[in-house]
Amino acid sequence: MEHNMFCYQCQETAGCAGCTRVGVCGKTPDVAAMQDLLVYVTRGLAAVTTQLRAEGTAVDAQVNYLVTWNLFVTITNANFDKEAIVSRIRETLDVKQELLTLVMDSSALPEAAHWTAEESAFEAKAAQASVLSTEDEDIRSLRELITYGLKGLSAYSKHANALLREDGEVDAFLQRALAATLDDSLTADDLVALALETGKYGVSGMALLDKANTEAYGNPEITRVNIGVGKNPGILVSGHDLRDLELLLEQTQGTGVDVYTHSEMLPAHYYPVFKKYPNFVGNYGNAWWKQKEEFQQFNGPILMTTNCIVPPKDSYKDRLYTTGAAGYPGCTHIGEEKDFSALIELAKRCAPPTELERGEIIGGFAHAQVMALADKVVEAVKSGAIRKFVVMAGCDGRAKSRDYYTEFAKALPKDAVILTAGCAKYKYNKLDLGEIGGIPRVLDAGQCNDSYSLAVIALKLKEVFGLEDINDLPIVYNIAWYEQKAVIVLLSLLYLGVKNIHLGPTLPAFLSPNVSKVLVKRFGIAGIGTVEDDLALFFGEKKS
Ligand code: SF4
Ligand code: SF3
């Protein structure tokens, strides 16, 4: 069958199989083609840098940034701007050709390492660089599983880089693994091993970002975040980049413009350093997929620092700005000088945000805060006041089937505590689920990358309880996924030995039947069922 495009990297892919006409996310075939080509030339660049390292030649940090930035651009809902993507392809080809001259032995390099062309040839080449160009479905599945994990890892690396933190080993692995997805000599077993190794570096990448964030902004602490609005005009910041938020807060001081977080930026409120800004008012709205209504009602400028962008309505498109890896055609992109004055000036002419709701949500339960409460937590577990923790981290999305997570949270036994991170939390973080002995029943560690905190908490509890196996803890995993950052979180958990993870609302379309079988057999990965059945499975009982 003729396809206009092929993409199956996210949970909302058409028919749980692949977007072939246009992306459910709004990605058009021409943008999809340039994203495919960007991934292809980045794989080629990674093959060159991997060879250079093998020959003992150092690779410049700027090249590492180029690789991670390129992959980040191709994450679901990050960048819809064809021109921006084409210019990254050109830059990558230039850098690659220059580095190629330093390679001593280029005989084993794949075709992608050598390929270069004028822009007029990009479209034809993109068609050959499609995901479907790998014919064996299991090899394709594993190559894409690794690639999507690396995209997630790139996003987290880039955030750490923004805070002047880097890990050369993570970058070297990332490029080696990306290059390996071009290697036809690798078997399915080799690629399964590489996927797990990707998880290992996923843990390192998230640890690096955790260190970068906490050193820059302090350890997250229990915080009540206002979800109402004030009387001043405001700027709404979405995405995951805390450094962008910090710069915006600096630049808005004394301007009379307030700053609100949206979706994955909510956890910024939990960090001590951000609390010192008097105009950092609260969180507005919900997870990314509700932005069409909520951005319209916000009335002021919106800054998207990363994914997730929904193609904007005309009614607010001129108020939508992008920065970093994010982009949308027709929306102003703020460059690396991070001059936000245009947003501030626009905000001053805008009405204050329309109130959506009132109240507060509580969060800030990253690893240091939970460990500060360790005695209380351990006591509650020992006494039976807390029977189980349910990790419900991950992504939210627009699929109706995701109501499952709200219903599941509501129906949980009253002695169960939810551990969460990522925008999945919006499915239940405004419910009144109460607390157990002063411990709220929803413990929000932060953004999706802060799933690392949940792993640290699990490992610490394992130590405290003197257990041999992380799976002996009273913790079950019911994770929601949408885009590729969730893939690196999943691979990281698998690397840490976590078994029996439930993944929903549907299993990834990019897992072939055989690859799924391996994941089921080795790790007990499963989908979700009905709320009742899953409660029975996790707790051995029906609804409470
Ligand atoms: Fe489809 Fe998801 Fe790819 Fe968008 S990112 S084109 S929705 S699979
Ligand atoms: Fe959400 Fe896009 Fe994944 Fe960072 S903002 S968790 S979906």
Pocket test for ligand 1, best of 5, 11, 19, 31 (most atoms within 8 A of CB): 19
Ligand positioned closest to the Cα atom of 427: 2
Q: Are 367 and 420 in contact (CB under 8 A)?
A: no
| Ramachandran area for residue 348 (φ above 0: left; ψ -120 to 50: alpha; else beta) | alpha
Q: Is 308 in the pocket of ligand 2 (CB under 6 A)?
A: yes
Q: Is 287 in the pocket of ligand 1 (CB under 6 A)?
A: no
Cα-to-centroid distance, 238 and ligand 2 (Å): 10
pLDDT in tens, 155-177: 999 999 999 999 999 999 999 99
Number of the ligand 1 atom closest to the C-alpha atom of 23: 6
pLDDT value of position 454: 95
The confidence band for 543, taking pLDDT boundaries of 50, 70 and 90, is very low
pLDDT in tens, 171-218: 999 999 999 999 999 999 999 999 999 999 999 999 999 999 999 999
The confidence band for 3, taking pLDDT boundaries of 50, 70 and 90, is confident
Q: One-letter amino acid identity for 88?
A: R
Q: Is 131 in the pocket of ligand 1 (CB under 6 A)?
A: no
Alpha-carbon 461 to chain mean position: 26
Residue 259: name the closest of 285, 230, 288 by CA.
230
pLDDT value of position 541: 61
- Dist. CA 19–CA 95, nearest whole Å: 32
The confidence band for 540, taking pLDDT boundaries of 50, 70 and 90, is confident
- Dist. CA 353–CA 371, nearest whole Å: 37
Q: Are 224 and 279 in contact (CB under 8 A)?
A: no
Q: Is 219 in the pocket of ligand 2 (CB under 6 A)?
A: no
Q: Is 328 in the pocket of ligand 1 (CB under 6 A)?
A: no
Alpha-carbon 187 to chain mean position: 28
pLDDT in tens, 493-518: 999 999 999 999 999 999 999 999 99
Q: Is residue 534 packed enough to be buried (19+ CB in 10 Å), middle (13-18) or exposed (0-12)? A: buried
Ligand positioned closest to the Cα atom of 12: 1
Q: Is 288 in the pocket of ligand 2 (CB under 6 A)?
A: yes
For helices 242-252 and 137-162, angle between their N-to-C axes, nearest 10 degrees:
30
Mean pLDDT, rounded, of the chain? 97
Q: Are 102 and 53 in contact (CB under 8 A)?
A: no
Number of the ligand 1 atom closest to the C-alpha atom of 7: 3
pLDDT-above-90 percentage for the chain: 98
The confidence band for 544, taking pLDDT boundaries of 50, 70 and 90, is very low
Residue 231: name the closest of 395, 351, 399 by CA.
351
pTM of model > 0.95? yes
Mean pLDDT of 319-347: 98
Residue 150: name the closest of 167, 128, 171 by CA.
171
pLDDT in tens, 51-99: 999 999 999 999 999 999 999 999 999 999 999 999 999 999 999 999 9
Number of the ligand 1 atom closest to the C-alpha atom of 18: 8
